[in-house]
Chain A
Amino acid sequence: MQVRTQSPKLAELRRNVMELYISDHPLDCLTCAANGNCELQTMAGVVGLREVRYGFQGVNHFKTTEKDDSNPYFSYDPAKCIVCNRCVRACEEQQGSFAITLSGRGFDSRVTAGQGERFMDSECVSCGACVNACPTATLIDKRVIEQGQAEHSISTTCAYCGVGCGFEAEMQGDRVVRMTPSKTGQANEGHACVKGRFAWGYATHPDRITQPMIRASINAPWREVSWQEALDYAASEFRRIQQKHGKSSIGALVSSRCTNEEDYLVQKLVRAAFGNNNVDNCARVCHSPTGYGLGQTFGTSAGTQSFSSVEKSDVILVIGANPIAAHPVFGSRLRKRVREGAKLIVVDPRKTEMVDSPHAGAVHHLKLRPGTNVALLTALAHTIVDEDLLNEPFIAERCEKQAFDDWRHFVARPENAPEALANEIGVPAQRLREAARLYATGGNAAIYYGLGVTEHSQGSTAVIAIANLAMATGNVGREGGGVNPLRGQNNVQGSCDMGSFPHELPGYRHVSDDATRSLFEQAWGVRLQAEPGLRIPNMLEAALDGSFHGLYCQGEDPAQSDPNTQHVQAALEAMECVVVQDLFLNETAKFAHVFLPGASFLEKDGTFTNAERRISRVRSVMSPLAGKADWEVTMALANALGYEMHYDHPSQIMDEIASLTPTFAGVSYAKLEQYGSLQWPCNDSAPLGTPTMHAEGFVRGKGRFIITQYIPTDEKVTQRFPLLLTTGRTLSQYNVGAQTRRTENSRFFAEDRLEIHPQDAEDHGIREGDWVGIKSRTGDTVLRASLTERVQPGVCYTTFHFPESGANVITTDNSDWATNCPEYKVTAVALVRVEQPSTWQQRNARQDAKQRRLLVGSEIR
């Protein structure tokens, strides 16, 4: 068959159709925000439309419709809508929100949000997919309306969650106009969320500190100084402390938001310039159990799959994660697969968005009691063994026999049966068995998990239990299956890879390994310590004990993010020199003596590694506001300490990483330029990287089953503390909120609230919006109540995006037995209706006000 796409008749038809479009379109092209970037305009030109014979006197929409400016980031102007339906399809097919639709018929057909509501009042989650899809100025970024069209664009990688979306920074000179998701971005394939797409205004927020500052004490005013003075001061303080208290009396925290190159330099600085191993990173408080658990069972500490693998899954088990809120772009991909027919099992104490997503609901929601993950996972394993659902050939070929036999014997014990554990877990045994059967027999089965698994006293055990399940059913080593930790921060995978742990050099090699150590000693020209250094909690303990006095904290905010805030604050206060490198005066900086201005992801070159081990380029689109990228600051600090570092560009740092780290051996900027991104291991045996891990054999050789004895947490419900508090995230705010709180995202989510089941609320005399005092064994804070059946009776829930909430004032010192990952997810609390903020909150507010006054020029801030 021959298809002709050009002929005089077709040309006339196209022109006539365009004429009809334009007969219902305002002729304001020159003043239209899409001018120069409008498909309608372009096509009108292409078809040669010269007149509209129908005139403009007839019925139209451009004089009668009203603009919807309710969304902070984009406007909807139905006057310009050509009803192409692209936005509706983007919302349904790409995002999966089903928030917009076409309403009306015939000439009255219009794009409508929700049930004819404003966008802001509808189910819209502001992912921007509709804005991207719109060919006209109907749905358009407000920034474009304000600033005009971009004149060039630069590809880069989002600095929010661990999905690592590729973006095009659309620029006017060094000013960002908008960020559009890159269609060639291998992690996101053209999709984005409200954070990456829109919430980047923090980068130029007036709160940014762009001048280095020092002060003698935390009660003294800050003094703006030159970079040199600040660095010299920090270096001299660190050296003074080391002379006075010993080499191990200082340490550093590596940022999971900075680049691989920057993370590498910080740990190098600690090991080579500080001369100790006191380096840790925020993975300590999130995914360190993943590192341990997957390392022990599979031999490597990372997710096994690419995100695209989910498109081949038949059963998807999501446990302790809410990707729709915390990893939205992957969440959309997952939902798409569920809409295609994959079966979804959600394990979560709360009815998350994942459970009842439109047309993508869960087949099983195992609404367990917080803290019982290990019991639940072992009960699932019991069912698989008990009902002969094991993948025996896989196990025989790929796993250690003795370990498997021991595990099989263990899980088969009657006390691990769903029937025996159902009460403890809070899920009927039948439900557990059905879910186990589905996972084991439903085809390709994938597990995605988050901090709801790791942040427990048995976090590492739960990760091991997950790995056991995948091995027992043969769901490792191929697309559609796998074990996938959803990493929280943009580069938490990378910072772990880069050796930001007290016990590991880059590439997860233990500091006690002589061969590895000597490799680095040769390259770095120093002697390295063979003993692991201090973890974050150890550093804090040591500070209170008087043996730890100096901290270099790059892009992390333990004073807000780490558990038991009062304990953290006391430890920071006890230190002699705290050096904070950040964009903003964060909570930790209030205890700092040196403030080194950080650079946002828009201001520097480097790489981020996402949750699928994908190394992607971050590109500078504007100069660092404070004059230095973070890697330059660390380098200068090393030099000030007398340890020479010389790099002209982050690519040289990556070359050094590649030369010292086997899994990164094949990575270079030139190759990243060529292929867009690379998934480690990337070396001679996998020159283009490794999308699926453990395909031939496990990294450690044979997979190792490990027994997962359930040990209930000490954090128990008592008469004094009758409810369990668990924590999580919301879509529009990110982590400690330092970035998103400084954007319009706060209009979507303006305060952390305490979610309580209406039954519990009634028992406590709490109504919607009441101030509620939340008291744990550690501390107390006050939040406003939100009554919802999303939480189960006996369980309450909050987020931790706002420092004044003090969510971590109440979390405890309990932590994972193997890695010290804090038990954020279970805190026994008592609730009482109150009239004012807690003592801590009042004190913190005073402290906050005081610290702001101590900033130079605070009167104008």
Chain B
Amino acid sequence: MSVTIYLPGDAAALALGADQVAVAVAEEAQRRGIEIRLVRNGSRGLFWLEPLLEVATPEGRIAYGPVEAADVPGLFEAGLIEGGDHPLRQGLTEQIPYLARQQRSTLSRIGVIDPRSLDDYLEHGGGAGLTRARRMSPAEIVQEVTDSGLRGRGGAAFPTGIKWKTVLDTAADQKYIVCNADEGDSGTFADRLVMEGDPFSLFEGMAIAGLAVGATRGYIYVRSEYPHATAVLEAAWIEAEAWLDGFRIEVRKAAGSYVCGEETALLESIEGRRGMVRNKPPLPAIEGLFGKPTVINNVLSLISVPHILARGAAFYYANGVGHSRGTLPFQLAGNLKYGGLVEVPFGLTLRELLYDFGGGSASGRPLRAVQVGGPLGAYLPESQFDTPLDYEAFSAIGAVLGHGGIVAFDDSVDMLSQAHYAMKFCAEESCGKCTPCRIGSTRGMEVIDRIRNRQPGQIELLRSLCDTMRDGSMCAMGGDRRCPGQRARRHLSDARRGHGRGDDPQALRHRQSQTLRLLPSLSGGDRGPTRLSRLLHHTG
């Protein structure tokens, strides 16, 4: 009787030597005359344990990790096949606290099933949503999604049901479902884990969306740096085509530009043009891909849909808080002890995520700030760590959850460099359409350099620049509203810390007071006083 061994084939595990481990496992099993079935699953998202090898036992799947090829003979010697004890043994996978404390619902299958096997997918509860949707009218499906409270997981958090309804209500000879899988935010990887670990759920979500709005064709726009995801999707599609019964999906390799993650630039790119942002209106829901009504959703939004349809809107809605319903797969990255994927309902605090899951900084130094929501997202100081993870609470402090990417920094971080980096990222990745973003980002780097050199008037100039970028850009790349507050806070912090050695105390005080005077208008307009006090509190 053969034993099933699971070893992730996802990009993270591969980067950590999973293929070498796989070879070693196969050889060792052969040497010992043990018949095994080696399944290359996706990653469960516990990256400090990758490559995470699992063996199926009557008690359940036992995890070992992180496994190197050299560990393999020893593991077999220790009775791997029966789940024998070993220093790398993590016990039953499901009971690893990091996993056990999560609520894996939309991501219940990643790392569990063989991503290339439709049978495996269906055996693990896949397909139920589509089966139900096929018995429903388009309007009923849209209503179900609306009722679930699902909001776009790409970052903008627009209610998915409302978007779908617009597409449903727009008559056209052809409509499209476009999946935005151009996952480019720093510190994010959930889309990739889904595509490499549970691609059928994405197909199913798109097919349901197609039934809901009357679309027969779908495109998955996959980040060009995700060759493994593309390969898995393409392999899985061969299996899925017949199952999806007429709904056709095409996998498109992205063009390598960050801005192509913006929905209208993404459409331009699929159409074969330079990825530049379109003016809205018209909304893509009315005139999208090739001028036709188009649903554009993020991977995480689309994979929530089969779950919602299978379990019902009420079940999904029951999780979460306020207007943020369901779960969100957070991605912990940066200076954290336990980086990885954490799917939890909205409402947890950032601190719980950082310490209870992330285990605090990897360096052991105190965490100073975390950036949430990608490279243009706000840097939140320790004082804001108790903010609940929900869209509105984050919005209230001028931040966003975005795609759920969290990058942590300890107290050695140079925030002025981070600000400089944000501008540099913008200067390199701007599509060039809006001048404030195209030129302003470069000027921003220069102004920050001058702030570092303590030239007078530069803070005010930076404020003005950020306002111009915010108000004069068509998309979030240049126009992200958090930009000014982010820089101000950073600057303030640096000023207070007396950034730069041999700082004259008088000059430091002067710069502090100057900065503080600027802050109200800088970071919140009419909400100035509140902002000021909060910032004083944060930095105090």
Contacts and interface: CB of A to CB of B under 8 A. Distances in A.
Interface of A: 9, 13, 16-17, 20-21, 23-24, 53-54, 57-59, 82-83, 85, 101-102, 104-109
Nearest to A85: B433
B464 A16 contact: yes
Contacts of B439: 20-21, 23-24, 107
A85 B430 CA distance: 15
Contacts of B468: 13, 16-17, 20
B430 A106 contact: yes
Closest 6 CB pairs of A and B: A109-B432, A106-B430, A16-B468, A58-B446, A20-B439, A107-B442
A267 B249 CA distance: 68
Contacts, number: 80
Contacts of B440: 20
Given A17-B472, A54-B443, A106-B427, 5 more contacts: A16-B472, A20-B468, A54-B461, A83-B435, A105-B432
Nearest to B473: A17
A341 to B, nearest CB: 10
A106 B426 contact: yes
28 contacts: A13-B467, A13-B471, A13-B472, A17-B436, A17-B468, A20-B443, A20-B468, A23-B439, A23-B443, A53-B461, A58-B443, A82-B435, A101-B274, A102-B276, A105-B257, A105-B259, A105-B429, A105-B430, A105-B432, A106-B428, A106-B437, A106-B438, A106-B442, A107-B438, A107-B439, A109-B430, A109-B431, A109-B438
A113 to B, nearest CB: 15
| Chain B: interface size category | 20 to 34
Contacts of A59: 442, 446
A16 B276 CA distance: 22
B523 interface: no
B167 interface: no
Contacts of A101: 274
Contacts of B457: 53
Interface of B, secondary structure class, is helix
Interface in B426-470: 426-433, 435-443, 446-447, 457, 461, 464-465, 467-468
B147 to A, nearest CB: 30
Contacts of B435: 17, 20-21, 82-83
Nearest to A9: B471
A104 B439 CA distance: 13
A839 B472 CA distance: 71
Interface string B221-235: 000000000000000
A82 B432 CA distance: 10
B451 to A, nearest CB: 13
Contacts of B257: 105
Nearest to B477: A106
A102 B274 contact: yes
Contacts of B471: 9, 13
B67 to A, nearest CB: 40
Contacts of A9: 471
Interface in B251-287: 257, 259, 274, 276
B436 A102 contact: no
A46 to B, nearest CB: 16
B427 to A, nearest CB: 5
Interface in B74-117: none
A82 B440 CA distance: 13
B431 A105 contact: yes
A258 B54 CA distance: 89
A111 to B, nearest CB: 10
Contacts of A23: 439, 443
B438 A83 contact: yes
Contacts of A20: 435-436, 439-440, 443, 468
A108 B433 CA distance: 12
A230 to B, nearest CB: 61
Interface in B501-530: none
A107 B430 contact: yes
A83 B257 CA distance: 18
A14 to B, nearest CB: 9
B446 A107 contact: no
A357 B441 CA distance: 38
Contacts of B431: 105-106, 109
A108 B276 CA distance: 14
Contacts of A54: 443, 446-447, 461
B461 to A, nearest CB: 5
Contacts of A53: 457, 461, 464
Contacts of B430: 105-107, 109
Contacts of B276: 85, 102
Interface string B402-430: 00000000000000000000000011111
B142 to A, nearest CB: 27
Contacts of A104: 432
A102 B432 contact: yes
Contacts of B464: 16, 53
A65 to B, nearest CB: 15
A756 B113 CA distance: 62
A101 B432 CA distance: 12
Nearest to A106: B430
A54 B443 CA distance: 7
A54 B257 CA distance: 28
Contacts of A82: 435
B432 A83 contact: yes
Contacts of A57: 446
A776 B455 CA distance: 83
A482 to B, nearest CB: 27
Nearest to A25: B439
Contacts of B461: 53-54
A107 B274 contact: no
